[in-house]
Structure 1
Amino acid sequence: MIPDFAESEPRTAPDDASDALDQLDLTSEILLSAARAGVVQAKEITDFHPVTARGMTQWMETVASLRRSLDERSWTLGNPKNSPRAISPDGKTSIMVMGGDENTGSQTTPPQAARRRGPSTRDTMQCNGQEMLDVTLPLPRGWSDQEPLTWVFVYHWSRRAPQLQAELSLARDLDEDGRTFAWHHRILLPEQDLGEFNIPQRPAGPDFDIDFRIQELK
C-alpha cells in the first residue's frame, strides 16, 4: 500500500502522525508502546551481561511487542532471510524494526542505521524502490510480485537525555556501507520521556540482519 502522502511529501510531522498512520492501519500508541517495551526489558541488563546484551535485548523485545500487538489486528508474521517482519492483512505492507542514530525523529536531518544492516535489508529497499518508481529494475533473487512494501520502525535512545525518538519511515535505498539510507517518506513520532526508567546510557550492541546457511550433512 502506497498512501497518497508518501508520494507527495518527504515527511509527516509528529502532530500529523496519527492521520498518516491511520492509512496504514496503525497508531502511534502501538509503535511507541513497542519501543517502550524494549526499554523495560533492556533496563534489566547489568554489567554482568555481555556488552551487546542491552542493545540486542531492546531490539528483540521491541520486535516481539510490535508483532504481538499487530497480531491482534490480524497482521501476520514474516521472517524473510530470518529478518523479522509484521505483514498487514492484505499482504501489501510490512514493518521491520531498526535502531537508528541521533537523527531519528529529526525534522531536518534523516536518520541512518545505528549499526550496519545486511543483505536482506538491502534487498528489501531495492524492492521498495521498484514498487514506488514502477519501472523495470534488476531485482534481488527470489523477489516476486507478492513482495510487500516495507516500512522501517526506527527508534533511538538519546545519549544526551532520557528520551526515546522514533519514526515509521519508507526507505528507497541502502548504501553499500549498510548504514546510509535514502528515504521516500518519514512519519515522525512524538518524543517519549524515559526519565522514570533511570537508565544512565543509551543501549549498545548489534542490530543487524542474521543470515543462516543450512547444508545437509553427508
Structure 2
Amino acid sequence: MQLSSSELITEPSSVDRRLAEMNLTREGLLRVRDIALGAAAEATAYHPSFSPGMKSYMEGIAALRFEFIQLGSEWRLEKHNGMDFIRNDALEVRLGFSNVKGSVLPDVGPRARSPRGPGTERACQSNFSIDFGEEFKIPEGFEDKVATYFLMVDKDGCAEVSKPIIQAGNFADYLERLSISDGSDFNLDPTPLDDDDDLSSFDPMVTRR
C-alpha cells in the first residue's frame, strides 16, 4: 500500500471548482461510474472470470466519450500508444478510465485491479512535475506534454479523478486526487469484481518486429 504525495481532495466546492477548470462535471463522471459498474454487474457466473472488469472498462471508456465529447466541447477521442482516452488539446489533458481496488483513503491512493502495461506508463510519463530522482526520470527526447488523469472507480462506487505515476505495473504515487464520490450515493449491489483474473484495461505490449 503506497502513500500518496497528494492527499485526496474531498471538499465539494474545491473539487467542483477544479473539475470546472478541466471542463468536467461531477454529475457526468458519476453517470460514467454508474454505467461502468452496471456493465460489470451484467456478468454471470458462466462468463469468463475477467468479464466484469472487461465490461466495466469497455463501457467506462464509451461512457466517458458519450458524456464529454459533444458539439462545441473541447474534448475529443484519443488513442495514445494503443490506450483509449478523451483529450482536451486546449488544456493539454487526457482522461482515461480504470477499475481500482482497496479503500480510497485521504493519504493512500487506490491500486489498479490489473497490471498497468507500457502503454499506460508512457501515457503517464508527462505527469512528472517534480523531481523523483533517476528512478522516475523522463526519457530524453520525450515530447508528450499532456497530463494524464484517470477516472478511478472501485466496485462499491467510490470514485476519484487522479493524476498518477506508474511504477512496477501499478499506480505508485499521485500528483493530484479529486474525490468524486465516497460510494455512499451508489445504490447497486457491489459488482462481482474479484481481486484476481481482472482484465480491466487493454494495455498493449509493444515489441520489436
Normalising by the smaller structure, the TM-score range is 0.7 to 0.9
Q: Is the 8 A contact 2:57 2:201 kept in 1?
A: no
Task: Give 1:168 deviation, angstroms.
Answer: 0.5
Query: Which structure has the bigger radius of gyration?
Result: 1
Corresponding residue for residue 53 of structure 2: 55
- Whether the 8 Å CA contact 2:78–2:87 is kept in 1: the answer is yes
* Shift of residue 118, structure 1, vs aligned partner: 0.3
1:160 is matched with which residue? none
Query: Residues 215 and 20 (structure 1 numbering): CA distance in 2 closer, same or farther, change over 3 Å?
Result: closer
The residue that corresponds to 1:185 in the other structure is 176
The aligned length equals: 195
Superposed CA deviations along residues 51-108 of structure 1, whole A, max 9, x for unmatched, are 111111011101110111110134111111211010014161101111112133x223
> How far apart in 2 are the matches of 1:148 and 1:108?
25
Alpha-carbon shift at residue 214 of structure 1 (Å): 9.3
CA RMSD between the two structures: 2.8
| TM-score normalised to structure 2 length | 0.81
| Equivalent runs, 1:18-167 vs 2, <5 Å | 18-72=16-70, 73-90=73-90, 92-104=92-104, 106-129=105-128, 132-133=129-130, 137-139=137-139, 143-144=142-143, 146-157=144-155, 163-167=156-160
- Residue 193 (structure 2) aligns with: 203
Distance 1:40 1:215 in 2: 38
**Any idea what SS the aligned residue of 1:190 has?**
strand
Structure 1 residues 51 and 184, CA gap change in structure 2 (3 angstroms): same
Shift of 1:138: 3.9
8 A Cα contact 2:101 2:110, kept in partner: yes
Unaligned runs of 5+ in 1: 1-8, 158-162
Deviations 1:18-66 (A, max 9, x none): 1111111111111111010012222222122111111110111011101
Measure, in 2, the Cα distance between the counterparts of 1:127 and 1:76: 19
Give the secondary-structure state (helix, strand or coil) at the position aligned to 2:203.
Answer: coil
**Change in CA separation of 1:102 and 1:91 when aligned onto 2, cut-off 3 Å:** same
Deviation, structure 1 residue 207: 2.0
CA contact (8 A) 1:17 1:188 kept: yes
Alpha-carbon distance between aligned partners in 2 of 1:140 and 1:28, rounded to the nearest angstrom: 37
CA distance in 2, matches of 1:47, 1:80: 33
Quickly say closer, same or farther: Cα 1:23–1:48, change in 2 above 3 A: same
More strand by percentage: 2
